[in-house]
Structure 1
């Protein structure tokens, strides 16, 4: 509305007498556009909102002595004169906007809470269904498990494990010094839990795996402890 009809002219030309709008058809807005659109044809889906055309056009308006804002951020309703552009900020104070803001605030809060409370290391304990119970070389009853260790952090984690549930119980299959898990990696490791036959009669018995982890190479600070329940199948 303000820019049309376009037309090249000298700075000294009276645009009203020449019947021209503020756009001098310099095409600077098109030349600086990173996606190559002509914003004078209206908002297009390719626009990335970088405002390069606004800056270029404002410079031209300054040189011509015209008001800035030939290209600007505004609303369709303001362009159609449903209200003045100075009232755009007042239009933000509406129940709908407040509702959207409240929903967005809840989503952001939930995201931050989830981010702060999520576990840096997760462990899944999978019972080996192929072999329910067996006797090992020591004569103890033994169950086999697979540990799936997930490192959600951006740093390598050193994880140690132990097990409890009987007065005499042993966990084997882990490397000495603990398990090193690289950032954003998942490691699956077979382990065995064994106990004296007298402690594990027929049926299932609750046991508990205890995992401790800290960043690999870090010796200070209290390690984080994870406890995971499992079952031991007796003879």
Structure 2
């Protein structure tokens, strides 16, 4: 199990380093840094090439799921924080594992911002949605995640964690001097948006979980896609 997690931990460390660079560079070069983050997200797949060659249909599957997650934001553009992206990333990671979830979450953030607008927030969204997929993949074989209630609780928790990660970028980007009052104000003001995200995760997971999991598992078994050795 450790050999599967080690490349992901390296990719995660690269994400954290690059996010630190975005703060040090005062949000400059965020497009370049976002592309580097995509390369970091793909690092586990590069490592997998040493064990076996990736099939083109596996890459197509990752691209399709990333695109579906990205496009799913658009119909709900008028509803802040109400998006099916997290639910799609969670379900994809549940079936295909942490590697796939990490990649799908990160790429979905970058691709969807082609429509919503790229900015210094993009690398942070890539990290946050990547972590949604990463943790869902790591926990997918636990008794907790294998129950519908456990999965819904997981999605609810990540609705808040996602917002708390984005609050870090918001606080760093402010010109004001750091203070704990500023931190408290930032997290308090985001509460209703985070709650909306959490509740929407519960809603979309309830709506999609049964059908999506069956379809994705059928694809995985029939074509042998993204199997763990």
TM-score range, shorter chain: under 0.3
TM-score, normalised on structure 2? 0.24
Question: Which of the pair has the greater relative contact order for Cα pairs under 8 Å at 6+ separation?
Answer: 2
Greater C-alpha Rg: 1
More helix by percentage: 2
